[in-house]
Amino acid sequence: MFELKSLIDITDLTPEEIDELIATAEDIIENPDKYREKCKYKKLATLFFEPSTRTRLSFEAAMLELGGSVIGFSESNSSSASKGESVSDTVKVVSCYADIIAMRHPKEGAPMIASMRSDVPVINAGDGGHNHPTQTLADLLTIKREKGHFDNLTIGFCGDLKFGRTVHSLINAMVRYKNVKFVFISPQELKIPDYIKTEVLDANSIQYCETSSLEHYMSELDILYMTRVQRERFFNEADYVRLKDSYVLTNEKLQSAKEDMCVLHPLPRVNEISVDVDDNPRACYFKQVKNGKYIREALILKMLGIE
């Protein structure tokens, strides 16, 4: 049993704590009945200062599966925030009602402020382009269930590696395991930032390479983590149009991939994974969504101190 008052960044959790969460999530998957009333009479508040239906539903489904209830709001113009109330005050008030809070906010660091002011545990459900630790936990549970381990994996990241927070978080989580290698696949404009290379990769003596070709290292990958290439990241439309199709995954491009390679994607996708890949046995992105709910259940239990 670990003590965790809030989860803001994936590195707030040690690898041992992540193992514990994964073990609980796997037990929930095996024995759902055992958990149906674990959170009876407990309330989760979902404070979504910007809409994210997908993440909110995952948290709410997780709490309902545990027999708890859910309160909250899903956009700031229906809340006190639109009347000028600070995050600190909103959280102070809500922590009088709820046993645990999941918070999404467009500003980076808002959930950290919340955790400093709240009397109940706070989970960061996404703060701008900064952190989204429960997505990373969903990624990790999926990798564990598909691969059985975190060591000795070669992970390809494809798409927007410059702004992609899910990419940065997963890198931060994975550098803590043995013999992990990375392949960064992106256009020049969206390469992995230098500070991640120096402060995370080099600091942990991690082997990595960069390429602009999705096919080039395909046969070496154990995991391929796809992300969206967003139009607004480009200076001009012509560059976007030129590049967007180079980073679209199709069954054809997967031909040289290992049989048991896993394709992950934090979703929503636009067109970066062709729909025909959905039936490929390597596609794991919908399993990832399910795993997201299970790991959130495990997290809620742990943070409420319920065995």
Could you give the angle at which helices 165-174 and 133-147 cross, rounded to 10 degrees? 60
From 86, 179, 213, 219, residue interacting with another protein (rule: CB under 8 A): 86
Q: What's the one-letter identity of residue 193?
A: P
Q: Tell the residue number behind the tokens 């996708």, with chain if given.
A: 269
* Catalytic annotation, pick one of 5, 36, 40, 54: 54
Task: Determine if 105 is a binding residue for another protein (CB under 8 A).
Answer: yes
* Catalytic annotation, pick one of 132, 145, 244, 265: 132
Task: Determine if 128 is a binding residue for another protein (CB under 8 A).
Answer: yes
In whole angstroms, how large is the CA radius of gyration of the chain?
19
Task: Determine if 232 is a binding residue for another protein (CB under 8 A).
Answer: no
Q: Which is nearer to another protein, 110 or 174 (CB)?
A: 110
* Catalytic annotation, pick one of 24, 46, 55, 227: 55
From 199, 245, 276, 278, residue interacting with another protein (rule: CB under 8 A): 199
Sign for the pseudo-dihedral over CA of 117, 62, 165, 45: negative
Task: Determine if 274 is a binding residue for another protein (CB under 8 A).
Answer: no
**Separation CA 137–CA 133 (nearest Å):** 6
Task: Determine if 170 is a binding residue for another protein (CB under 8 A).
Answer: no
Q: Which is nearer to another protein, 67 or 109 (CB)?
A: 109
Number of residues that bind another protein (CB under 8 A): 17
For residue 88, the minimal CB distance to another protein (Å) is: 7
Which listed range, 33-41, 105-113, 155-163, 231-239, lies at the site for another protein (CB under 8 A)?
105-113
Residues with Cβ within 8 Å of 201's Cβ and at least 6 positions away in sequence, in order, are: 171, 175, 182, 208
The tokens describing 134, both together, are 């429960």
Task: Determine if 82 is a binding residue for another protein (CB under 8 A).
Answer: no
Is there a catalytic annotation at residue 132? yes
* Catalytic annotation, pick one of 42, 43, 56, 104: 104
The phi and psi torsions of 122 (rounded to 5 degrees) equal -120, 130
**Separation CA 249–CA 78 (nearest Å):** 39
**Separation CA 78–CA 40 (nearest Å):** 28
Contact 42, 48 (CB under 8 A): no
In the complex, the residues that contact another protein under the rule CB under 8 A are: 86-88, 105-110, 112-113, 127-130, 195, 199
**Catalytic annotation, residues:** 54-55, 83, 104, 132
